[in-house]
Structure 1
């Protein structure tokens, strides 16, 4: 007799303000099963889990269509509290621990065990004291299940992040009513040996009858521990298959594979990229929260478009931010054999570097200022352009600023009412063009662009990408493009460096197979090719 079904999600659909992010997803998880859920950034995994866990963001944006069935009964979970009461636990990527509390106190938070004392017997149960002995025993049992030999009385503050992850998991398995446990990228912060320990603990947890949903991008772990695998891509269900029916290469191809529209370069007529190295990056580290760079070496060739790709939080965003001095960085960056001073944005600008930030509304634009001032301001500050010197004062040359803005509006096809229009009132695509116009005003040797198409519609995406190709092809500009959209990188880049865990996993040609890109993003490319070399 087969195991009973713990969870069924039937024909789940969800849209955010007209943008459909889940398109009829079906998912079934059985008692004692480890079910892997795979997909790139934006595939729909997080939205699906938000629905399962009753997160407020789902209900505040119109709810969802479809049915969630738990233990054979339809449920409508309106909050995480209801989900937890129904027996669903979730180990989140972001830690939810109280640093000043002990491990036991964190594991037992809101589920404390109490015992009578002299006062409570006389004055009532509200004066009961904590039964720390029993709580410590329970915490010890949960930690032992995970194979972690850390003392339960230690405080969270100062623990290595790997141990914090195990405490998160221990808290969930200590719950008596747990039926389904969701692991969201649980090994992302673990060392290899810690990850092996966790996978063994997952097998023990599943053997006790608890169902596990395992969200990860590490495909070798999926093959190692999962029973069944579901793959999402662009909000659609691509495949559900048994582990025995698949392998790492197939999973990588299913996760990444898609039609690649040629948005930019025509490979038949493009010029040959120079072999001359314009920038050398050596052993660079960047302390950007959530996007740490942990030691990369990269040569950038003159006149190329090189892409920086990878999953969220792996460090690709940190590279340009570190070079431009926006976050603390160490290592060496050489531009045409001269060293660029790190941690100094002005030095980067004076050396002919320009940057279009991934956060155009928070960092890239002065939203309540005119288009023309947005375009000119960085050049005014760093290069003293558009200024008239009068007595002891510098005064903006409004006429020159206006003429330059008009030219950029025409050249970049910025759709607006005129150079004096407030930038906030432009569409996302046109705001992005203003950011690019400001960078181009610096006449850079190298243009760094991060997430250039984030948050803009498909038509505007093509215009922005075509603009980058035009700058590269017609003006020979070297461009470093960071993007979470692999298809866009493959459509316009000459080479693509995939960043995994803060380091370069490999550098691929855009024509490389879907499987190779999938392996690289999952951190398995080096491992596989080192085995082949042996």
Structure 2
């Protein structure tokens, strides 16, 4: 490949964080004026690759990276965001970096103000120079016109619609002299459909002026609509580079999801008799107002005794589903568990109806970090069901013998690695903390168990044990298990059915044996339906 063909060449990029290789020999090639989609599931390595391109401190304070970066055919040592700007690289962030109390012009020109010296500045220094508001407004107007945003450049940013803010961010980057490459990070995530369409049109306008665009998105429809080419990353590795004209949404979905991983749990023995008419959990027009994980009206029936999976990309609403049922975030709609309608405004309602929850936030919600393993395992059951209390006359006292026996049994069954049940939960490793959360939930003897991200941050051996425990419990006790996970391979290992959530709604309910294409299309919110 000719160097001159590419505005950006990132070759054989590898990055390690404390022994964990998050990028393994990744390539990214982009031509001037092309829109290049960078795709992959959460955790595929997209953010780390962009952090390297921008010279972010998180890269250079952790030992740098391996591989080479070239801009316009020249080697580029980008060791700070300022250096990235000097090379003509800009970024349109998902979280807006605007100053609400300032005008549109002031936001576009921040850090690049046009000034003229005056008497005071000659004495006190350049910071006292006069701002040339007219010249700055003219620059701002030019940038706004380039992207077709009809807004007065002198209005304040505070109170403007979200869509406008996104466009002002773009105008600010366009205004920078010598901009060669713009990175758009999930730019349509917070926009309405019409705003998103306008933004995609704007990207085409920018590209037509010779500026290259890296478009980070998981939305396949948008990629097919505007991108010229794309790179897919998976688990920190480069999978493929394709011209969009030579591929399809189905192929991209398969490239993103395709796993060569064996199922983590062998579920060959299945003595269960599931009755599709016997519903353990029914959701009707269910909404949850959980910031970053909103649920926007879903209908769902979960069969009694099944292991039901809920998957999808981060921020699409999957975590909102159990958190709303447990009363941790405001929820609306109908939730019926084992035939009983839940009062969603009552925090303990689900717990008192034989439902247990292992939260994704084990430190914030799951554990009392300063308390012992024993206390963590039994306290929920003690307060909800008055277990581990013995009656002496009119008093109820802590039954330390029963609590000790139960805690030791759970430690043994779940293989919790510890010095003993008196060890504090906070001093355990992540995997063992997760097992304590699971032990605490199981101590409630629930009919329905919700587990959120049950294996986040734990090693493969501990993952296998947690999943095997869930499968075994389900098999032996008939407990309905609802498992929410970002790890598709886990869901496909243990679940009977898997709902994929996209934009707060259920995109599809799939069999664990459905094709990678079907999973990829559902997760990417694509209108195209994959076939086997």
Q: Could you tell me the TM-score, scaled by structure 2's length? A: 0.94
User: Whole-Å Cα distance in 2 between the matches of residues 450 and 240 of structure 1?
Assistant: 34
CA 1:176–1:467 in structure 2 vs 1: closer, same or farther (change >3 Å)?
Answer: same
Report the 3-state secondary structure (helix = DSSP H, G, I; strand = E; otherwise coil) of the residue aligned with 1:90: strand
CA 1:480–1:433 in structure 2 vs 1: closer, same or farther (change >3 Å)?
Answer: same
Report the 3-state secondary structure (helix = DSSP H, G, I; strand = E; otherwise coil) of the residue aligned with 1:299: strand
Quote how far apart the aligned CAs of 1:403 are.
1.2
5+ residue gaps, structure 1, are none
Work out the number of aligned pairs and report it.
529
* More moved, 293-302 vs 380-389: 380-389
Report the 3-state secondary structure (helix = DSSP H, G, I; strand = E; otherwise coil) of the residue aligned with 2:7: strand
1:441 aligns with 2:458: no
User: Whole-Å Cα distance in 1 between the matches of residues 102 and 325 of structure 2?
Assistant: 38
Say whether the 8 Å CA contact 2:369–2:426 is kept in structure 1. yes
Which of 465, 468, 471 matches 1:466? 468
1:287 maps to what in 2?
289
Report the 3-state secondary structure (helix = DSSP H, G, I; strand = E; otherwise coil) of the residue aligned with 1:67: strand
1:47 maps to what in 2?
48
1:262 aligns with 2:263: yes
1:300 maps to what in 2?
302
1:64 maps to what in 2?
65
* More moved, 385-394 vs 246-255: 385-394
1:104 aligns with 2:143: no
1:18 maps to what in 2?
19
User: Whole-Å Cα distance in 1 between the matches of residues 220 and 4 of structure 2?
Assistant: 25
Report the 3-state secondary structure (helix = DSSP H, G, I; strand = E; otherwise coil) of the residue aligned with 1:183: strand
CA 1:394–1:147 in structure 2 vs 1: closer, same or farther (change >3 Å)?
Answer: farther
Report the 3-state secondary structure (helix = DSSP H, G, I; strand = E; otherwise coil) of the residue aligned with 1:528: coil
Matches within 5 A, 1:323-334: 323-334=325-336
Q: Could you tell me the TM-score, scaled by structure 1's length? A: 0.94
Report the 3-state secondary structure (helix = DSSP H, G, I; strand = E; otherwise coil) of the residue aligned with 2:422: coil
Quote how far apart the aligned CAs of 1:3 are.
6.8
User: Whole-Å Cα distance in 2 between the matches of residues 200 and 500 of structure 1?
Assistant: 23
5+ residue gaps, structure 2, are none
Say whether the 8 Å CA contact 2:4–2:72 is kept in structure 1. no
User: Whole-Å Cα distance in 1 between the matches of residues 394 and 159 of structure 2?
Assistant: 54
CA 1:127–1:461 in structure 2 vs 1: closer, same or farther (change >3 Å)?
Answer: same
2:360 maps to what in 1?
358
CA offset digits 1:407-449 (Å, max 9, x no partner) = 2122222222221122223232221111001001111111110
Say whether the 8 Å CA contact 2:518–2:529 is kept in structure 1. no
Which of 509, 528, 531 matches 1:507? 509
CA 1:268–1:101 in structure 2 vs 1: closer, same or farther (change >3 Å)?
Answer: same
CA offset digits 1:284-326 (Å, max 9, x no partner) = 2222121111222211110111111111111111111111111
2:217 maps to what in 1?
216
User: Whole-Å Cα distance in 1 between the matches of residues 106 and 265 of structure 2?
Assistant: 56
CA offset digits 1:22-70 (Å, max 9, x no partner) = 1111111111111111111111111111111111111222211111112
1:142 maps to what in 2?
143
1:337 maps to what in 2?
339
2:488 maps to what in 1?
486
CA offset digits 1:133-166 (Å, max 9, x no partner) = 3322322322232233233333333233222222
CA root-mean-square deviation: 2.2
CA 1:399–1:85 in structure 2 vs 1: closer, same or farther (change >3 Å)?
Answer: same
Say whether the 8 Å CA contact 2:263–2:489 is kept in structure 1. no
Quote how far apart the aligned CAs of 1:379 are.
1.3
